[in-house]
Amino acid sequence: MPAFAESAFMGAFQLVFWGAVLVCAVGATVLAVRHHSTPAADVRAPDTVFWDVFMGSVVALPAILIPTLAAPWSGAVLTVLGVSAGVAAHQSSPQILAWHSRVRQERRARPLYSAAQDAHDMLLERWRRYELDPASCIDYPGMTDVRLPETSALIKAMREAEQLRAERHQGYASAVERFALALSAAERAAGIPAGR
C-alpha cells in the first residue's frame, strides 16, 4: 500500500474514532447537565453541574485537539460534529430523561408488584373454594349469588384486580387490597366464620 493511501486510511480511522468519542462525551455531558439541573433531580452537591461539564470537557477537548494536531481541517469537522451532537442531545434529553424516570419507578415498584401478585394469588385460591367446592357452594350460597351487594362488589373488585394485573398497572396493589376487603365483606355477609 502506498504511503499516501496508508496515511489517508489512518487519518480517516482517527477521524471516525475521535468523532465517536466526541459524540459520546458531548451527549453524555448534556444529558447529565440536564438531569442534574432539573428541579426534581436528586442532587447531592451544589456543584454537580460544574463537575458534569468539567468531566465532559476533559474527554471532549482532547477528542478535538489530538486529531487537529495531525490535520488542522479535522478540528473544524470535529467541532461541527460536537456542536451537532450537543444540540441533538439537548433536544432529545426530555424524552430520554422521562424514559429513565419510568424505568427507575418500575424498578422501585417491582417488589410491591410481586407482593401484590402473591396476595392476589392467595385471594383467588380462597375465592375458588367457594366457587369450585360443592360443599362450600351448598353451605354458603351467598358467595356465588351476585344479586347480593357484597358478592357483586367482590366480583367487581376481582375483575378490576385481574385487569390491572394483566396491564401491569401502577394501581394493581391498591386493587388487590380492595379485592381482599371485598372478599372479607362478602364472607361476613354470607355468614362464614372468620379464619375459615
Per-residue pLDDT of 143-178, as tens digits, reads 888 888 999 999 999 999 999 998 888 889 999 999
Residue 39 has what pLDDT?
Answer: 65
Rounded Cα distance between 146 and 67, Å, is 77
Residue 40 has what pLDDT?
Answer: 62
Cβ-count burial of 28 within 10 angstroms (0-12 exposed, 13-18 middle, 19+ buried)? middle
Does the model's pTM come out above 0.75? no
Residue 9 has what pLDDT?
Answer: 60
**Mean per-residue pLDDT for 69-85?**
84
Name the residue among 154, 164, 182 with its Cα closest to residue 112. 164
Residue 177 has what pLDDT?
Answer: 95
The 3-state DSSP class for residue 168 equals: coil
Task: Give tens-digit pLDDT for 95-123.
Answer: 888 888 888 777 776 778 888 899 999 99
Task: Give tens-digit pLDDT for 8-64.
Answer: 566 677 888 888 888 888 888 888 888 877 766 555 556 788 888 888 888 888 888
Question: CB count, 10 Å around CB of 176?
Answer: 26
Residue 4 has what pLDDT?
Answer: 46
**Mean per-residue pLDDT for 53-80?**
84
% the chain with pLDDT above 70: 89
Rounded Cα distance between 194 and 20, Å, is 67
